[in-house]
Amino acid sequence: MSEPLVVIGNGMAAARLCEELAQRALGRYAIAVIGAEPHLAYNRVLLSSVLAGDVPIADTLLKPANWWRDRGVTLRYGAAATAVDIGSHKVRLADGKELGFAKLVFATGSRPIRLPIAGADLPGVLTFRELSDVALIAKAAACHSRAVVIGGGLLGIEAAYGLAKAGAKVTLVHLMDRLMERQLDARAALMLKAAVEAKGIEVLLDVATARFVGEDRVEAVELKDGRRIATDMAVVAVGIKPNAEIGAAAGLAVNRGIVIDDGLLTNATDVFAIGECAEHRGVCYGLVEPVNDQARVLAERLSGRQTHYRGSVNATNLKVSGVHVFSAGDFIGAAGTESIVFADPGLGTYRKLVVADGRLAGAVLYGDTSDAPWYLDLIRGGTAVEAFREDLIFGRALVERLAA
C-alpha cells in the first residue's frame, strides 16, 4: 500500500519534489498536491520574461497534466489548505474537504510584502508574484502610460523593465542608496543604474514612500521628502514574507519561516517544509536554487537515504535584456577576506572576486557574465584557488589554457 503524502502548495518546490520522488520512489507514496492558484505548477522565475514579452505564458508550464497523472500524483488546485491538524493527520481545504496524510510537506512559498501606508489598498497598487499579477500589470500598462515601481531589488528592476518595454513611462523608487544592494557592491550597482536609465527608466535612490494618493484608484505616489509622482499604477516589490501561518496555527515552530532541521523536518514528526516558506539555520531563501536543493534532499530522505541539507550559496542573474549582472556568495568581503577587482569602463565590464582562506567566497560580475557558472562552481565546491589565483579574475579559459 502506498503511504499518503500530502504537499501543501503547488509551486516550484512542490513540482521539483514530485519530480525527484518519481525518479527515486515511484509508487511508494500516494501523493496529493494542494494548490491555491488555479493553475498547473508554472515556472515563476519566467514571469519577468513573460511581462517583458520575451516568453509566452505557455512556456512557463513546468509539467503537463498527463505528467502528474502518469506518476500517480493527484492535483487539487484552486482550493487552498486552510488548516492542518497534526494530531489526527488531516489537512482541511477551503472547499470543506479533508485529506488524511502519513507524511506532510509544507511548500507554500511566500507572498509579497505590502507597504503599511495610506492608500496601499487602492486599485492600481499591484504586486508581482503570480501569473494573475502579470496579467493585471500588463493590462494596466496597456491602458496607462505612467507607472511607479517601488523597490530596486531584482524583482522591482525586472518589473520596471517589463513595464518600460510595454511602453509605460516608468519611475523606479528605491529606499537604499544603490540598486540591488543585497547582491551588488557600490560600483556594480552604479553601472546597473546607468544601464537601467538607458532603458528609459527614471531611477530615484534614497527615497521612502509616504503614501499612495487617489480617490477611486491610485493617482500619485507621495514620497517622504514631499515630492509627488503622478502615476496611473504602482507596483510594489519591496520583499517577501514566508507563508507560514497555517504551520504556526498547527503548532509548528515558526520564526520568519517554518523552522526546519538539516533533514528538512519541522518540530513535528513526519511534517516537513521546503522552499521559500521554510527557515533553515536562520535563513529563508528567496531563490529557486535552494528550493531545488531542498527538494532533492527531501526526496532522498523520503526514499530512505539519510542525506542532509547543509544550506545553499545564493546566486543571482538579472533578467533584463542586454544587461548582464551576476552575484554569488559573500560579494562584499567580510573582515579577513581579500578582493580582486578588474574594471574596464570602456567595455562596460566589472569583476570583483572575494577570496577567503585560499578559496573563492563570492563574486560580482557586470557586463561579461560568461564565467559566472565557473565561479559559482568554485564557490560551491570550496575549491582551493591559490595555484591559479593570479589568473582567476581573467576567467576559466585563460586558467585552463595555462594549466594545459
Ligand X SMILES: Cc1cc2nc3c(=O)[nH]c(=O)nc-3n(C[C@H](O)[C@H](O)[C@H](O)COP(=O)(O)OP(=O)(O)OC[C@H]3O[C@@H](n4cnc5c(N)ncnc54)[C@H](O)[C@@H]3O)c2cc1C
Which residues bind to ligand X, rule: CB under 6 A?
A: 8-14, 34-37, 44-45, 47-48, 80-81, 107-109, 128-129, 155, 243, 246, 275-276, 286-289, 291, 319
- Give the residue from 356, 357, 368 showing the smallest Cα distance to 332: 356
- The string of DSSP letters for 185-245 reads -HHHHHHHHHHHHHTT-EEE-S--EEEEE-SSS--EEEETTS-EEE-SEEEE-S-EEE--H
Smallest distance from ligand X to CB 149, Å = 12
Smallest distance from ligand X to CB 341, Å = 25
Query: Would you say 277 or 399 has its CB closer to ligand X?
Result: 277
Does residue 216 contact residue 123 with C-beta atoms inside 8 Å? Answer: yes
Smallest distance from ligand X to CB 156, Å = 10
Query: Would you say 299 or 392 has its CB closer to ligand X?
Result: 299
Query: Would you say 222 or 311 has its CB closer to ligand X?
Result: 311
Query: Would you say 35 or 329 has its CB closer to ligand X?
Result: 35
Smallest distance from ligand X to CB 80, Å = 4
Q: Which residue of the chain is nearest ligand X when measured via CB?
A: 11
Query: Would you say 37 or 210 has its CB closer to ligand X?
Result: 37
User: In the 8-state DSSP scheme, what is residue 51?
Assistant: H
Query: Would you say 13 or 392 has its CB closer to ligand X?
Result: 13
Report the alpha-carbon distance of residue 270 to residue 100 in Å, rounded: 13
- Give the residue from 177, 181, 190 showing the smallest Cα distance to 331: 181
The position carrying cell 514566508 is 242
Report the alpha-carbon distance of residue 224 to residue 196 in Å, rounded: 24
Smallest distance from ligand X to CB 130, Å = 7
Smallest distance from ligand X to CB 258, Å = 11
The position carrying cell 519591496 is 238
